[in-house]
Structure 1
Amino acid sequence: MLYAILAYHASGVVESWTPDEDAAVMADLASVRERLLAEGKLGPAARLGPTEGAFTLRGSGAGMVIDGPFAETKEQLLGFYVVDCATRDEAIEAARSLRSANPTAVYEIRPIPLYLPGVPFPVTESVEN
């Protein structure tokens, strides 16, 4: 079963980290990602940009584009991991490994009933309107 592990963090905390603090957390998370990859369990993963650049499409018809994050909450979605785990407990253990690398984050785990793998996304430096 594939599971999505969604990483949340209190708004403003990650942005307050020094470059060295951010690099240390990312290095710890990289260790977890490398282990999950070596075990053949890691699928796509991404660190999302700040919520200031987020926008939401909602409403009927063609919808309306609204600036800002998709939810009104103190915690914002920072990124996600897709893991292939045989059991729910195995997915929880993968999330616990990520949490050990970034203990102040919150990790939501959701089963993925349908996954259509495709070509990898290209690496981009920045996105402009």
Structure 2
Amino acid sequence: MKYTFLLYSDPTGFAGLTEEDWAREKEVYGAYIGALKAAGIFVSTDWLQPVATATTLSTRDGKTRIEDGPFAETVETLGGYFVVDLPDLDAAIAWAEKCPAAQYGKVEIRATAMGDG
């Protein structure tokens, strides 16, 4: 079963990070990715551009509306994700607990609705 870990955090917490801080963050995430790969459960990941770069589109009554910014105005924003292949929710929870984002934000776990494919 594939699970997606949606990584949410408050982007203001990253505002003062130096290049050295970012390098350490990348090392921490690199180690987590390495552990997922070593366990044979890694499928994909991505780190998203800041929420200020988002564009939101909706179509209602045949009219398309395009807005700058995210879908929802919240403090915590979606910053990235991991897709992993695990046997069950308990295993997904165990791996999400190890995700660095859990230390300063939230990790939402969702099972695929498309089965194993």
TM-score under structure 2 normalisation?
0.89
Q: What residue identity is the alignment partner of 2:56?
A: T
- Which whole-Å CA distance do the structure 2 matches of 1:25 and 1:11 have between them? 14
How many correspondences in the alignment? Answer: 116
Q: Assess if the C-alpha contact under 8 Å between 2:2 and 2:116 holds in 1.
A: no
- Structure with the greater relative contact order (CA < 8 A, sep ≥ 6): 1 or 2? 2
2:100 paired with 1:105: no
Where does structure 2 lack aligned partners over 5 or more consecutive residues?
none
Question: Among the aligned pairs, what percent are the same residue?
Answer: 31
Higher mean C-alpha deviation, range 59-68 or range 105-114: 59-68
**Bigger share in strand:** 2
2:46 paired with 1:46: yes
Q: Tell me the residue number matched to 1:88.
A: 89
Where does structure 1 lack aligned partners over 5 or more consecutive residues?
118-129
Q: Tell me the residue number matched to 1:114.
A: 114
Q: Assess if the C-alpha contact under 8 Å between 1:43 and 1:84 holds in 2.
A: yes
Once superposed, what is the RMSD of the aligned Cα atoms?
1.9
What stretches of structure 1 move > 6 A for 4+ residues in a row? none
TM-score under structure 1 normalisation?
0.81
